[in-house]
């Protein structure tokens, strides 16, 4: 398959993720959109590691997964704590700090 | 001591120490309950940071002997302490040790104190590593380690709704930024097949559209952490809601670590385009203006200081922009000098504001914000804190005998040296902004010394000597580097040299 297909797939995933982060108001879906964006980068890494015949790109993917998992773990902990105090995970309601 | 051994310890000690600090603190807290007695976690953290500082000295002696610095190899991974890495390590350790001292009484009554010290040490270790990374992916990993540690620290008061909200905003924006950086790195990998700085720089000589896109993504992605203006909205919330020691760390070094990461990654792509320098200059001007205007209308002290961080990032960006756009060594040296001074000045300002906040509110179990009216006449009850706070804000405003003036001056000089009309107009704009910033710094001093103490101030508690000591040290350092700026020239010019070597100049 030509490389451009991978680039397009990665671009579509990334755009979907970015739109999700900007448009969706549910905290959990917001995190899933972030994961999509990380995976868009992962696809590029794997595709071009195969293209250049180097292993490093595939290795990076595992690290990206670990980091993404760490970010989401912190995020979920925050969401749980926020849910306990507000009974809602709608991010529009988090608006007490202004100015 | 062997420089390479010392360098291994500088990288390894904070990272290995983190779990030990946490476990020791946790075990101790289990046995003794959450009493007010001293948790040993803080002393262990302090010991580890001071030891890292000592080893940094030995590693620094070795690293400055040669322009390439010293390197460590772990399999295929190389860490190099060059001038820039050494500079960042010195800055973060200096501020980190003082913040740890300050936090001893500040965090004493808090639940989960051991987590605070463990995460603070981890964050400092990650920033040291960030300065020493030699490939883009490694740089990103250290950057993320720093970010994940700082999310917890911002949302440390987990029973406070406001601090959870600030932590959430910080996390979502910062994580979005890091996905953008990740995509940029993937594009750079796609264009060249390598992520090592040296190989990438050789491959980056042509204006490949993938590399241009990667550079733009680096600016936006690291720009979230650096608080470039349209991406700054997390900053005032996070800085005002975090524990004060962490506010000092965030403002003094974490956003600057983002800036260093951005400079490293743009430095490699220097040959691809002329536009990076002008982008930095443009964002610098925007940061100056928006930071100052927003700071003018704040009523809470810590929010005001947070917005003033925006404008100080603006000065640094102008310095580095001069280095990128016009190849001005003075711009980069001045930028690093201002970075160091800003860590001292803003660190002191946040610590002094934090000491007042602690004495007036937190010690009484109330997490209210410190508002400007609370400063009225505070010098009568807290003379030392008021003096340190005034010194910090006047240095931030750029009054001549203090450190802030010297670094701003060097940045402005580099602008005039270019001889370009645009650069000179920009420097005049920045100088006018510096005057404008006195519009919110000077009233703070006025309030401290001329107002009548309010009820809150008169009933305020004592400020512990543990809090006063770091403030006095920082105040002395600000005066020292103001009257004797050449003390730092060796460090800052080597940092600038590290940057220029990356750019291939």
The 10 Å CB-count burial string (b at 16+, else e) for B101-134 is bbbbbbbbeeebbbbbbbbbbbbbbbbbbbbbbb
CA distance readout (Å), B101 to B26, B107, B351, B361, B501 = 20, 10, 11, 20, 37
Tokens 């006063």 belong to: B468
Count of CB pairs separated by less than 8 Å, A with B: 115
A55, A59, A67, A77: best mutation site toward chain B, by most B Cβ within 10 Å? A67
* Cα–Cα distance, B426 to B415 (Å, whole number): 8
Closest listed residue to residue B114, CA positions, set B244, B26, B50: B26
For residue B363, pLDDT beyond 70: yes
What pLDDT score does B369 carry? Answer: 87
* Cα–Cα distance, B89 to B78 (Å, whole number): 17
For residue B11, pLDDT beyond 80: yes
Helix then strand then coil, in percent of chain B rounded to 5, is 80, 5, 15
Q: Read off the pLDDT of residues A57-97 as tens digits, 9 standing for 90 and up.
A: 888 899 999 999 999 999 999 999 989 888 888 888 777 77
Q: Mark which residues 41-60 of A lie under 8 Å from B by CB.
A: 41-42, 44-45, 47-48, 51-52, 54, 56-57, 60
- Give the alpha-carbon dihedral of B496, B500, B501, B503, to 10 degrees: 140
Nearest CA in chain B to A95: B165
Considering only CB atoms, A71 lies closest to which of B175, B194, B241, namely B175
Counting beta carbons within 10 angstroms of the beta carbon of residue A80, is it exposed (0 to 12), middle (13 to 18) or buried (19 or more)? exposed
* Cα–Cα distance, B247 to B250 (Å, whole number): 5
Chain B residues touching residue A54 (CB < 8 angstroms): 193-194
| Whole-number average pLDDT of chain B | 90
A16, A78, A87: best mutation site toward chain B, by most B Cβ within 10 Å? A78
Q: Read off the pLDDT of residues B288-309 as tens digits, 9 standing for 90 and up.
A: 999 999 999 999 999 999 999 9
> Binning pLDDT at 50, 70 and 90, where does residue B235 land?
very high
Mean pLDDT in residue range B455-481? 90
Mean pLDDT in residue range B9-27? 92
Beta-bridge mates of residue B482 = none
Q: What is the pTM of this model?
A: 0.94
Chain B residues touching residue A18 (CB < 8 angstroms): 176
Chain A residues touching residue B216 (CB < 8 angstroms): none
At B459, give phi and psi (nearest 5°): -95, 5
Here the ipTM equals 0.94
Beta-bridge mates of residue B133 = B79
Contact between B454 and B377 under an 8 Å Cβ cutoff? The reply is yes
Chain B residues touching residue A91 (CB < 8 angstroms): 168, 172
Mean pLDDT in residue range B256-271? 93
Runs of H (alpha helix) within B243-328: 244-249, 255-268, 275-296, 301-326
Closest listed residue to residue B478, CA positions, set B382, B399, B413, B380: B399
For residue B36, pLDDT beyond 60: no
What pLDDT score does B287 carry? Answer: 94
Task: Give residue limits of the domains in chain A.
Answer: 26-88
B179, B192, B200, B224: best mutation site toward chain A, by most A Cβ within 10 Å? B179
What pLDDT score does B505 carry? Answer: 57
For residue B158, pLDDT beyond 90: no
Tokens 């105090």 belong to: A85
């Amino acid at each position: 398959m030509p490389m451009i297909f991978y680039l397009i797939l990665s671009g579509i995933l990334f755009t979907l993720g970015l739109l999700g982060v900007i448009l969706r108001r549910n905290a959990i879906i917001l995190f899933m959109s972030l994961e999509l964006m990380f995976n868009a980068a992962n696809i590029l890494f794997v595709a071009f590691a195969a293209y250049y015949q180097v292993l490093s790109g595939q290795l990076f993917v595992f690290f990206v997964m670990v980091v993404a998992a760490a970010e989401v773990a912190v995020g979920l902990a925050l969401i749980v704590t926020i849910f306990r105090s507000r009974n809602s995970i709608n991010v529009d309601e988090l608006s007490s700090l202004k100015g | 001591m062997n420089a390479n051994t010392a360098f291994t310890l500088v990288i390894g000690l904070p990272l290995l120490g983190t779990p030990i600090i946490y476990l020791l603190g946790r075990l101790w807290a289990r046995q003794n309950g959450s009493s007010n007695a001293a948790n040993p976690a803080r002393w262990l953290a302090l010991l580890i940071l001071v030891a890292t500082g000592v080893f940094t000295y030995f590693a620094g002696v070795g690293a400055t002997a040669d322009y390439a610095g010293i390197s460590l190899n772990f399999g295929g991974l190389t860490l190099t302490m060059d001038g820039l890495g050494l500079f960042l390590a010195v800055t973060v350790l200096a501020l980190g040790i003082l913040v740890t001292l300050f936090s001893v009484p500040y965090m004493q009554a808090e639940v989960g104190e051991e987590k605070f010290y463990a995460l603070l040490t981890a964050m400092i270790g990650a920033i040291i590593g960030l300065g020493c990374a030699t490939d883009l992916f490694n740089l990103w990993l250290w950057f993320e380690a720093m970010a994940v540690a700082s999310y917890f620290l911002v949302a440390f008061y987990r029973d406070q709704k406001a601090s959870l909200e600030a932590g959430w905003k910080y996390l979502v924006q910062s994580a979005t930024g890091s996905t953008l950086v990740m995509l940029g790195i993937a594009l750079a990998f796609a264009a060249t097949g390598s992520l090592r700085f040296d190989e990438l720089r050789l491959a980056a000589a042509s204006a490949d559209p993938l590399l241009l896109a990667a550079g733009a993504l680096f600016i936006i992605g690291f720009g979230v952490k650096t608080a470039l203006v349209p991406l700054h909205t997390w900053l005032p919330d996070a800085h005002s809601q975090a524990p004060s020691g962490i506010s000092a760390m965030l403002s003094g070094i974490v956003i600057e670590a983002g800036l260093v990461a951005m400079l490293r990654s743009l430095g490699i792509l220097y040959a691809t385009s002329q536009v990076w320098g002008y982008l930095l200059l443009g964002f610098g001007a925007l940061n100056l203006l928006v930071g100052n205007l927003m700071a003018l209308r704040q009523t809470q002290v810590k929010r005001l200081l947070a917005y003033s961080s925006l404008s100080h990032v603006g000065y640094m960006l102008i310095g580095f922009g001069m280095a990128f756009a016009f190849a001005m060594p003075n711009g980069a040296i001045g930028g690093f000098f201002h970075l160091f001074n800003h860590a001292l000045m803003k660190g002191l300002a946040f610590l002094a504001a934090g000491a007042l906040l602690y004495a007036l509110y937190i010690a009484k179990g109330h997490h209210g914000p410190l508002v400007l009216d609370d400063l009225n006449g505070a010098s009568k009850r807290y003379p030392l804190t008021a003096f340190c706070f005034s010194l910090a804000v006047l240095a931030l405003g750029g009054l001549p005998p203090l450190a802030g003036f010297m670094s701003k001056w060097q940045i402005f000089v580099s602008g005039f040296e270019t001889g370009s009309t645009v650069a000179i107009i920009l420097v005049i704009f920045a100088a006018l902004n510096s005057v404008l910033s006195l519009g919110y710094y000077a009233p703070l001093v006025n309030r401290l010394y001329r107002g009548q103490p309010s009820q809150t101030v008169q009933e305020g508690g004592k400020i512990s000597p543990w809090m006063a000591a770091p403030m006095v040290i920082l105040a002395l350092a600000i005066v020292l580097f103001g009257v004797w700026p050449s003390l730092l020239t060796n460090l800052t010019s080597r940092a600038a040299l590290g940057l220029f070597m990356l750019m291939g100049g």
